[in-house]
Amino acid sequence: MKDSAIQVDGARLANELEELAAISDAEPPAVTRVLYTDADLRARAFLKKRCAAAGLAVREDALGNLFARWMGSTPQAPAIGTGSHTDAIPHSGRYDGTVGVLGGLEALRALRASGFQPRRSLELLMFTSEEPTRFGLGCVGSRALSGATDAKSLAELRDPEGQRLDDVRKAAGFGGDLAQVRLAPDYYAAFVELHIEQGPLLERESVPIGVVTAIAAPAALRVELEGAGGHAGGVLMPDRKDALCAAAEVVLAVEAAARATHGPDTVATTGVCKVHPGAINSIPNKVVLEIDIRDVALAPRDIALKAVKEAVAAVAAKRGIQARVTELNADPPATMAPAVVSAALKACKKRGYEARQMPSRAYHDSLYMARLFPTGMIFIPCRGGVSHRPDEFSSTDAIRMGVEVLAETLAELANT
């Protein structure tokens, strides 16, 4: 490490990550924090307390996006933003998103302690619901902030219990006008997100920092299959329209579609399979699948998407089953801003850390921030590339190095 006035306290950050991990609806080491649940709200309270202790001015918008600002010497100039999310899918790990939020906070504290005086304001941002767990749609907060999805559509989203997002957010204490959530295009001069890689490349190549050049284009489908139920003993095989057997064929078609496309990076996953009525002695009459298809390139992803839709239609026709396919989202990929990529690479050089330019195959709130603002991402390695699992792990040193690069990048962006 070369000399720098900016000193990141890795141990303090590790303690905070541990405290945050304990705010969860799962048995440790698993973490579960679903939008607007008690665990989510307690995590927000924890973060607000830490931000206030760091002397940042905290505000929340009508969706619960949380902003913590360190006022610059030219407060009217567009600010520099950094941040990520603290929500966690069921039984996942403690680093996804949280490293960018608590690491962002640590970067601001380190900058302040170093005597750094920002010209532009520096702002930490915790996005509401990056994970799609509750409403089937990811990046709820950043979609609203960037205007990628309009406030009315978000308000009408329903969770599996049929509750409207608009009602749930109000019950969680977030009132106010959803239409006011969208940010002005000059709100940030740049946005940069620190995140674990969620893939194996950095670890495999022993490179401590990834500077992201593009974010993969995700598409999400919901497939509802409706056949005919009945008693598992009473209906002979030729008379059946078993929705789970149809779903099984779709699940295998999703896997085959990703394997068959020309893009070696195409991945397709059926992550949700809900069976009704879901009793051992009852023929499934309805199954809901949720499917995620993505690639760093748009063309092979869309080939796989088309293949899955065709497979659903073929299975439904063959089995005499009703099928409904809903495209939950199918966004284009995002290119990271050259100015932010340069600032991040310069920061790595200053610190003497090797860096690798790379795409992100996971999506992030930065995908949507990139629609309005020059945006970039900094990746750090995670063990085995594992994420969304309880054994997700990044070392205290790896996180510290990421925060150092983030802090240097923010300093560069704030004063140029």
Residues 85-114 that bind a copy of itself (CB under 8 A): 89-92, 96
Nearer to a copy of itself, 175 or 264 (CB): 264
Q: Helix/strand/coil (H, E, C) string of the chain?
A: CCCCCCCCCHHHHHHHHHHHHCCCCCCCCCEEECCCCHHHHHHHHHHHHHHHHCCCEEEECCCCCEEEEECCCCCCCCEEEEEEECCEEEEECCCCCHHHHHHHHHHHHHHHHCCCCCCCCEEEEEECCCCCCCCCCCCHHHHHHHCCCCHHHHHCCECCCCCEHHHHHHHCCCCCCHHHCCCCCCCEEEEEEEEECCCCHHHHHCCCEEEEEEECEEEEEEEEEECECCECCCCCHHHCECHHHHHHHHHHHHHHHHHHCCCCCCEEEEEEEEEECCCCCECCCEEEEEEEEEECCHHHHHHHHHHHHHHHHHHHHHHCCEEEEEEEEECCCEECCHHHHHHHHHHHHHHCCCEEEEEECCCCHHHHHCCCCCEEEEEECCHHHCCCCCCCCCCHHHHHHHHHHHHHHHHHHHCC
Distances (CA, A) of 117 to 70, 108, 121, 122, 351: 10, 11, 10, 10, 20
Smallest distance, a copy of itself to C-beta of residue 263, A: 11
Give the residue with the Cβ less far from a copy of itself, 184 or 237.
237
Note the residue count of the chain. Answer: 416
Given the complex with a copy of itself, which of 131 and 193 has the nearer CB atom? Answer: 131
The CB-of-363 to a copy of itself minimum distance in angstroms stands at: 7
CB atoms within 10 A of CB 11: 10
Query: Residue 2 or residue 231: which is nearer to a copy of itself going by CB?
Result: 231
Minimum separation from the CB atom of position 194 to a copy of itself (A): 17
Nearer to a copy of itself, 192 or 287 (CB): 287
Q: How far is the CB of 73 from a copy of itself (least distance, A)?
A: 40
Query: Residue 215 and residue 363: Cα distance in Å, rounded?
Result: 6
Binding residue count for a copy of itself, defined by CB under 8 A: 74
Paired tokens of 81: 């933003």
Binds a copy of itself (CB under 8 A): choice among 155, 273, 298, 337: 273
277 or 338: CB nearest a copy of itself: 277
Site for a copy of itself contains 206 (CB under 8 A) = no
352: phi > 0 → left, psi -120 to 50 → alpha, else beta; which?
left
Specify the stretch interacting with a copy of itself by CB under 8 A; choose among 202-210, 307-315, 367-375, 383-391.
Answer: 383-391
Query: 353-372: which residues touch a copy of itself (CB under 8 A)?
Result: 360-363
**Which residue, 138 or 374, is less far from a copy of itself as judged by CB?**
138
CA of residue 323 relative to chain centroid, distance:
29
Min CB(307)–a copy of itself separation in Å: 14
* Given 198, 366, 375, 394, the residue binding a copy of itself (CB under 8 A): 198
- Restricting to residues 208-237, name those near a copy of itself by CB under 8 A: 216, 218, 220, 229-237
Our CB check for a copy of itself shows the closer of 227 and 374 to be: 227
Nearest approach in angstroms of CB 360 to a copy of itself is: 8
Nearer to a copy of itself, 178 or 246 (CB): 246
**Binding residues among 233-272 for a copy of itself as defined by CB under 8 A:** 233-237, 239, 242, 244-245, 247-249, 251-252, 255, 258-259, 264-272
Window contacting a copy of itself (CB under 8 A); options: 47-55, 132-140, 173-181, 338-346: 132-140
Q: Output 100 or 199, the one with its CB closest to a copy of itself.
A: 199
Residues 276-335 that bind a copy of itself (CB under 8 A): 276-285, 290-292, 294, 328
Tokens 């674990």 belong to: 196
- What is the footprint of a copy of itself within residues 158-197 (CB under 8 A)? 197
Q: 206 or 281, CB closer to a copy of itself?
A: 281
> Cβ 222 to a copy of itself, closest distance in Å?
9
**Least distance from a copy of itself to the Cβ atom of residue 178, Å:** 23
